[in-house]
Every structure is written in C-alpha cells, then in structure tokens.
Chain A
Amino acid sequence: MASGTLRSQGWARKLRLGGPSSTVLIMLPPALILFTLFVILPLIDAAYYSLYDWNGYGTPTDYVGTENFTKAANHSVFHRAILNTLIGLGVAILIQMPLALALAIAIYKNSWVNTVFRLVFFVPFILAEVATGLIWSFVFDGNTGLAAGLANIMGTEPFFVLASRDYAFYAIMAVVVWKYFGFHMMIYIAALQSVPDEQIEAAKIEGAKRGQIIWHVLIPGIKPALMVSGFFAVIGSLQLFDVILPLTGGGPSNTTHTVVSYLYSFGLLRLNYGFGSAVGVMLFVAAVVVAVVYQRQMNKGAAQ
C-alpha cells in the first residue's frame, strides 16, 4: 500500500465526527472567538482609536496622530494619576506585603484559632470594591462617621479627610491595604504550609532562633509566592479603580485619580474616546512591561 493512500485514510479517520480533528474544530472555537472578540480586538481597536479625535459615534475620521498622547503627557491631572498609581505601588510593596507576610507567619500553622483569624483577614478581599468604598466613605465621613466620632471624643473639629487635597489619597491607600492584604496573606500561607517541616527542624537542631528560622528558612522557602504576590500587587495598582469612585470619584480637585479612573473620567464620561484609548494604550504598554520583567525574573529564579 502506498504511503500516500495510507496517510489519507488516516486523515479520514481523524476527521470523522467524534474523532480528534472534528473535536478540536467543535470545542476550541468558542473560547477563541470570545477571547478574540472581547479581549484582543478591543486592544487592537484601542491602538487605532488612539490616533483619532473621536466621540464614539460614526467612524473615526479626524486623524490627529500622536496628539492624544502628547495631550495626556502634558496634562497635570494625568501626572497626578501616575504619581498616585506609583504611590499605590509603593504602599502595596512597602506596607501591604510586609503586613501580610507578618500575619501569614503568625497564623500559617493549622489550628482553629488561626483558621478564625484567617477568615477574618480574608473577608475584606471578598467584599465588593463598591461596598468597600461605601463602608469607608462612611468611616471617613466627618459629619456622621467614625471620623466624626473620633473628633467628638478628642474634642476637635471634625476632619473631612476625603475632601482634603493633601490626605485624601492616603486615606484611599488605607482602604486598599484593608481590602487586599488578606489576599496576599493567603498566598503566603499556602506557600508557608508547603515548606517542609524537616527544613525547620534541621535549622532548630543547628541552633537557629525563631527569627533566624523565619529569615533564613521560611522567607527563602516562599520566594516564588513573594514574586507572584508582587506581580499581583503591581497589576492591581495599575488597575485600581472600583474603590476610588465611591470614595472620592477622583476629587477633590482631581487629586485622587488613578490611571483607570482618569481614563474613565476624561475619556469615557467626556466622550473623548480617542483620548481615552490613548490612555488605555499606555496602560497596556505598562502591563506588558511588567509582565515581561516578571517573566524574566521568574525564569532567572527557575534557572538558579
């Protein structure tokens, strides 16, 4: 039998309904189509719209080149939004992650008390961002909230922190830490529990103190988890939006915008779709850079 017919008979079998090829052709396209339609095409469209001055109706015709990008680059509110995003990143890495790690080390061993603590610390993460924002805007409310109560107790004038141009964003940061530290803590706990007990016992036999065990055994042992949570912290800072809207809406005087809330206010609400797309493209580039750097670091870590 010639190998040509052999091969074609083989293909006939593969293509039969219920065979491998027809299965690929039936089961894969839904995911590919949805993903392409709602994730990839919008990304490509964003790059295209970003070169036009467009209000979202009809087809974009008013080609403006890179003007949308330069406009953003020269807009002081956008500068402030980038600065806020960077502050958010700093807070995530310098306050949120250490806090989460300390708590994880304190409660990673399994006991019912620790389980209760874990659940308590995890609750804010599963609350909706919007609910979180509203709860805290009550807490910070100088008229009726906790801030008012504190002022009452201390006998001072009530302070409206969310209306303060200097402090509002730090108040938002407190909310962000409150909402997300439990997530990072859970990642660390899962990793800490997989550090082999033998390593800890060996260190004890060598005479290591508790602090030394944490520093030399536990933390190196969960390095991949630290990298992962760092990655999520960066991506999360870039995307910060949902809690901003109920807390300040970007105010006062546009001092508390993040990149996404800036995109929402100046692109979508004001019907500057070309401009908003340009901001989206910049955000996208930032995310790609972060992902590439992260992948490099992970590969380096894996190579060692």
Chain B
Amino acid sequence: MAKVEIKSLVKSFGTVSVIKGINIDIPDGSFTVLVGPSGCGKSTLLRQIAGLDMPTSGSIMIGDRDVTFEEPSDRGISMVFQSYALFPHMTVRQNVEFGMKLAKVPAEERAKRVANAAAVLHLEPLLDRKPAALSGGQRQRVAIGRSIVRNPQVFLFDEPLSNLDAALRTQMRVELAALHKKLKATMIYVTHDQVEAMTLADQIVVLNAGHVEQIGSPSELYERPQTEFVATFIGSPKMNLLKGRAAEAGKAATIGVRPEQISIGPDGMWEAKLAFVEYLGNENIIYLDSEFGQVIARAAAAVDTPFGSTVRFGYSPQNVHRFGADGQRVA
C-alpha cells in the first residue's frame, strides 16, 4: 500500500504537449478515478505512472520513492488494460503466474497466490483454459487476477470495463468496488464514463486538455464544481449554463443550474417554449427553448401541456452555481 504523488508532470510528443504540468496527490488506499473527455491526457498520465512512457519533465513518487526512471516491473504497480491483453497462447494459470515466474517467485508461493486470486475472483474452474475459451467478463477477471497476484502497492486500470456490455459493466463495477474494500490497496482508474467515476471513486480527478480541472470527492464535484467544465462534465443530463439576463440577475458571467433544480410552473421567473419531453418511466426529461438557448429540466411529474406551448420555469437562488468570465467558480 502506498500513496502516489505526481509533481509538475509534463509530457510532450514533439511540439504537442499532452500533459501540461500536473500535480496530483493520491492518498494511500484510495480509489482515485481519472476522468475526462477523450484526448484529455488521462490515459497518457496513467501510462507515465505505469512507466510505459517517460515524462518530458516532472516526477512520480510511489510511497516515498521517486520512480520516475524506474522500470514498470520495479515500481510495485500492476495494470489492467482496456483489451485485457491476455496472452492467448497461455492458459489462465500461466497468464496469472507469468509475472511471478519472471520475478522468480518459488513455485509453492506461486501456487498459493494463484489459488488465492482464483478464490477471490471465482476463477477456479477456468484455470486450465485458454483465453479464447472465456467470455468477456471471465477475461476481465483473469486480467484482474493477473494484477492481484503480484501484491502491487498500486493497481492501475485503463478503461477496463469499456469492452463489456451494459449489464456486465454494472456487475463488474460492483465487484471492483468490493475488491477495493477487501484489498484496501491504492487504485488508480481511468475512464471517460462519469457514472463509473461517481460510483467507484473516493477521489475523482477531472482532466481537460492536459491539465487538472478539479480534484475532489464525488459529492464535492457534484455539489461544488470549481469550473464550468466540471459543472457540465459531471451529472447527466448536464448542468444548464445560462448567460444574459439570468446571469446578470445572479451577479455572475454565467450561472449554472442542475436539471433537477429547475421547476416548471406559472410563478417561474422566465418564459420558454416546451420543445420536447422524454418519458423515462420514473421521471421525465423536459427540453425547453428559452432566450438562454436550450434548457433541460428533470421532473417526476408528467407534463400535460402540448409541445410548442409557452410555459414558465424558475429555480431557487441557493441552487445556483456562479461562474466568472474565466469559467472559474465565484464564491
């Protein structure tokens, strides 16, 4: 178990900087999720931590050790890849054992650790099969098993659930959360899916265009987004950003209101046209055309007004997020 510190990390490919000076502290035993849109640098950052790429400048500490120039295998990390990257010509057992064999772990110890991992991940009946004979979820478990047996200080995950179908993804999410509880190890997890980020993380790092937008717990990010980017990136449907008269009234360059905080009714502040309603059973997503552009509301109650008719909407001032012209939160 170990904390991870990333200090002033920069990574450039030629003249293009993909990571532009990042500082992150990842506490010992935390489940930290790196999230952001594609191209934000999150996978590149994970590869620097793993040692698959070398940073242009800056340093990476694992525990109290500077590992910036160490080999991946010497860093005390393990990694689960998006495509699982199982070795197709080896059985599950050989896959799981491979790293320990290279590290010259004695056979007895190897067998013990494989048995442990297999028990945790329900792999016992699969140990002598080849990866081609496994389902997607089983392959995923083998990949995790391969990383567990090395007793790493830090687990790295690179979008490990993105190749699974929706139902399996939910199930594996729960299993990963349980695994973290059991192992109490530091885990760093990359995803572009904010639902995965919100459900798994104790700490989320939102990355955008090579820099950190915000670091915080899921509830901090949801309730007090520090930038417009974070405000719109976390939460679905995304936060409404209103400018113009609404912003002036809130004394900010832009104000943000979450869809569930928008109320529709005759005493609303602003006028809008009802454009469209998506019926989801337990709730309705309501699309409005207003002077501020499209506004999305979320309501349990059905709307019985015909499309195209004029309605009024409003929100209470304490639910408003206020942002300055630079996109940063004000007070």
Contacts and interface: CB of A to CB of B under 8 A. Distances in A.
Interface of A: 1, 3, 6, 9-10, 12-13, 16
A13 B54 contact: yes
Contacts of B54: 10, 13
Contacts of B68: 6, 9
B48 to A, nearest CB: 12
Nearest to B55: A6
B146 to A, nearest CB: 20
B128 interface: no
B71 interface: yes
A3 B57 contact: yes
B59 interface: yes
A6 B10 CA distance: 12
Contacts of A6: 57, 68
Contacts of A12: 69
For the complex of A and B, 3 pairs with smallest distance between CB atoms: A9-B69, A10-B54, A13-B69
Interface residues of B, number: 7
Given A10-B54, A13-B54, A1 B59 contact: yes
Interface string B44-78: 00000000001001010000000011110000000
B12 to A, nearest CB: 12
A281 to B, nearest CB: 43
Instruction: Identify which of A1, A3, A9 gathers the most chain B CB atoms within 10 Å of its CB.
Output: A1
A6 B57 CA distance: 7
A6 B54 CA distance: 10
Interface of B: 54, 57, 59, 68-71
A6 B55 CA distance: 9
Contacts of A1: 57, 59
A196 B57 CA distance: 51
7 contacts: A1-B59, A6-B57, A9-B68, A9-B69, A10-B54, A12-B69, A13-B70
A173 to B, nearest CB: 50
A9 B68 CA distance: 9
Given A13-B69, A13-B70, 9 more contacts: A1-B57, A1-B59, A6-B57, A6-B68, A10-B54, A12-B69, A13-B54, A13-B71, A16-B71
A165 to B, nearest CB: 62
A18 to B, nearest CB: 9
Nearest to B70: A13
Contacts of B70: 13
Nearest to A3: B57
Nearest to B58: A1
A88 B70 CA distance: 63
Q: Which of B57, B69, B71 has the most CB of A within 10 A?
A: B69
A10 B69 contact: yes
Contacts of B59: 1
B73 to A, nearest CB: 10
A10 B71 CA distance: 10
A17 to B, nearest CB: 12
A19 to B, nearest CB: 8
A120 B188 CA distance: 62
A118 B57 CA distance: 61
Nearest to B7: A1
A1 B54 CA distance: 15
A171 B61 CA distance: 79
A277 B55 CA distance: 55
A10 B57 CA distance: 11
B227 to A, nearest CB: 30
Contacts of A3: 57
A1 B57 CA distance: 8
A227 B9 CA distance: 52
Contacts of B71: 13, 16
A1 B59 CA distance: 9
A12 B54 CA distance: 12
A49 to B, nearest CB: 47
B102 to A, nearest CB: 11
Contacts of A16: 71
Contacts of B69: 9-10, 12-13
A1 B71 CA distance: 19
Contacts of A9: 68-69
B245 to A, nearest CB: 51
Nearest to A6: B57
A13 B68 CA distance: 11
A10 B11 CA distance: 14
Nearest to B71: A13
A16 B72 CA distance: 13
Contacts of A10: 54, 69
A16 B194 CA distance: 40
